[in-house]
A = this chain, B = another copy of it.
Amino acid sequence: MDTVRIVKIGGNIIDDPQALDDFLVNFSKLQGPKVLVHGGGKLASKLALQMGVEVQMTHGRRITDLPSLEIVTMVYAGQINKTIIAKLQANQCNAVGFSGADGNAVVAVQRPVKTIDFGYVGDVKKVDLKVPELLLGHGITPVFCAITHNEEGQLLNTNADTIASELALAFSKNYKTALYYCFDKKGVLRDKDDENSVIRKITAATFKELVDAKYIVDGMIPKLENCFYALENGVQKIEIGLPSMIFEPETIHTILEN
């Protein structure tokens, strides 16, 4: 059974044309089945500003109203996804772009209103890998943006990290699955101001200790909770760090273990 590698990239790569080119050259050379998931970077906010669409906030949280949904759909599924696909093709990596609507691959439910109405934000409900697996079987790489749909004709904005982990979970039913979260640090840091404080290995047990000791804080907590959930449910390997961790495995980074 082949290992499917699911690689998630975010703003630090997408917003920097040279970094994106370099990443895609290396990604294209990766052997074996692979899937790319990309976030949105700063382009959507830039476009909103240019269009005079205000970022709507409520209780300090960003919400996705209809104009914002149209912007992220245009930017994520259009500009960024197609730019990546064209560059992969130029590197002889045959690829097909996906939103969650394409092939009905990622179905979400609009987040129910409790105290906050997040607008057109979707929480993943179901992943159908029929089309992505068909393509992987023919050596073609699926590239996912963070737009999903609700099977009733409504597109939804979904967190790209979550899409990556949900895809990894779904793939783990038929494949060995490795998930790589690329970001702008060498890994999970014990001290956020010290790039050399990378925690090389985190297990479910040490994760709790690191949270209790406040070494791991804020947005990194739900992100890692998500990761351990995926590891408990079939994903073989999750690694976090700079993209070089994938292409040069000796690069210092964080490895999560169940």
A: residues with CB less than 8 A from B are 47, 50-52, 70, 73-79, 81-83, 85-87, 89-90, 94-99, 101-104, 130-131, 134-135, 138, 140, 147, 149, 151-155
Contacts and interface: CB of A to CB of B under 8 A. Distances in A.
This chain's copy number in the assembly: 2
A125 to B, nearest CB: 13
27 contacts: A47-B51, A47-B74, A50-B52, A73-B78, A73-B82, A73-B83, A74-B78, A75-B78, A77-B77, A77-B81, A77-B97, A78-B79, A78-B81, A82-B99, A83-B155, A85-B99, A85-B102, A85-B149, A86-B153, A86-B155, A89-B101, A89-B149, A90-B152, A94-B104, A96-B103, A97-B99, A131-B135
B149 A138 contact: no
B140 A103 contact: yes
B134 A138 contact: yes
Contacts of A97: 77, 97, 99, 101-102
Contacts of A134: 134-135, 138
Contact of A155 (B82, B151, B155): B82
A24 to B, nearest CB: 9
Nearest to A97: B102
Given A77-B81, A95-B103, A131-B135, 15 more contacts: A47-B74, A73-B78, A74-B74, A77-B97, A78-B78, A82-B99, A82-B155, A86-B149, A89-B149, A90-B152, A96-B98, A96-B103, A97-B99, A97-B102, A134-B135
